[in-house]
Structure 1
Amino acid sequence: MKSEGHPSSIYSYVFIDQEPATYLFRTINSIVYEVQFKPTPYLFGEHSPFADSIVELVLKVVDAPTGVRPPRDAVTAPTIAAIINDFYERSSQTITIYICDSSDKRQKARWTTFNRWYDYFSARNYQRFDRTVFDNVEEVTYYCAVIISAENPHRLSIFEAFNRLLDGYNDPK
């Protein structure tokens, strides 16, 4: 059953106030999504002035009763946007990093889906910076984004740190 005719503008969701901050919602197709904001203070260096504000955005299907890829659902995108808005209302200086999962080589499709979902996010007060990085060893392209409040006093340093992180991805470890 498709949800295009779903009467609600978003699905109801549950916020689990723990670390990582987690949201859960079930679609009309009985697909359960988990949206997590996982602390990643080490990403730009644990001594950076904004280390405690960095989270990784993790979007995953935790239950798909049919066992197949979830069908397109017109209510999922606005629900995820509402969740992101709710999270930022709880912590406006958060720095969110999104890196598409590449474990099954479907990262480009995930990036397209993420962009479609992000379009629902009211980003007037936020800035987003996108980058891709190619892994020379695995021959995989990673799609990445950083989202921050436009009011974050460290935003230029954050974008610079994000660039340095990705610029150095293929450097010898």
Structure 2
Amino acid sequence: MAEEKQGLQDLKDIATGAVSAGDTGLAEADAPTERQPEIDAQGRAYATGKRKDAVARVWIKPGSGRVTVNGRDQEVYFARPTLRLIVDQPFQVAGRQNQFDVIATVSGGGLSGQAGAVKHGIAQALSRYEPALRSPLKAAGFLTRDSRVVERKKYGRKKARRSFQFSKR
């Protein structure tokens, strides 16, 4: 009878959420742990961003908000203002404008894909530098790699799907 009362009390505790982590039977290793910042010896966080055929290697470190892409300033490399807006989006969502310097090397694809790759890399690096920023960046969709790529050309066709013009005579 005493065991039944103890079992009922345990069920009531579970229903009210009064059970502590030690009473759940989970081992210490199974308990959820908080993410740790991944910062190298120079105080930088590294991440790789991808978009279409472009791949960007991105390092961020505390600074004045300078963005360098392939050794050139952001305004020179991404001449169009829309591309610069794309690159700055992760900082705006995280509320960290002009707080980090970015050094990126990009290869492959065109300018639009490269800007998307740098954006993806910056978002990944920010979440590694400050793990608390992961949830707003993920909610904005910046941590997800956009997997859309150009479809390959098929034989017997002009492009991937476009066929040659039909001629009746």
- Fold similarity call, TM over 0.5: no
Q: Which has the higher contact order (CA 8 A, sep 6+)?
A: 2
Q: Which has the higher strand share?
A: 1
Greater Rg, structure 1 or structure 2? 2
TM range (shorter): under 0.3
The alignment's TM-score, normalised by the length of structure 2, stands at 0.27
